[in-house]
Amino acid sequence: MNPYLPPIREDPQPDDALCRKVGHPDDWFPTRIRDAAEPIKACWRCPLIKGCAAAALDTMQRHGVWAGVLLNDADIQTSRDQLREILK
């Protein structure tokens, strides 16, 4: 992944989502947990993290890195609980 992270704007727009700017789209859907570290780090700096968490919950996502949480079928309830914590 590209280590460059753009500055955070005060009025973030959808195009400011770091998942659109950092790495390859496939990086956000890792097949191994160890490959999720870089996308997760980028999420924690993303100005749209709350919107991303809400979108993942609203659309019932089951795979990929969303709002810094690696979603997987093995423990989807824990992952959704983590997304809800981000929204608090």
The CA distance from 88 to 9, in Å, is 21
- Give the model confidence (pLDDT) of 8-22 as tens digits: 556 778 888 999 988
Residues of the chain with pLDDT under 70: 1-10
The pLDDT value given to residue 13: 81
CA dihedral 2, 27, 80, 62 (to 10 degrees): 160
pTM over 0.85: no
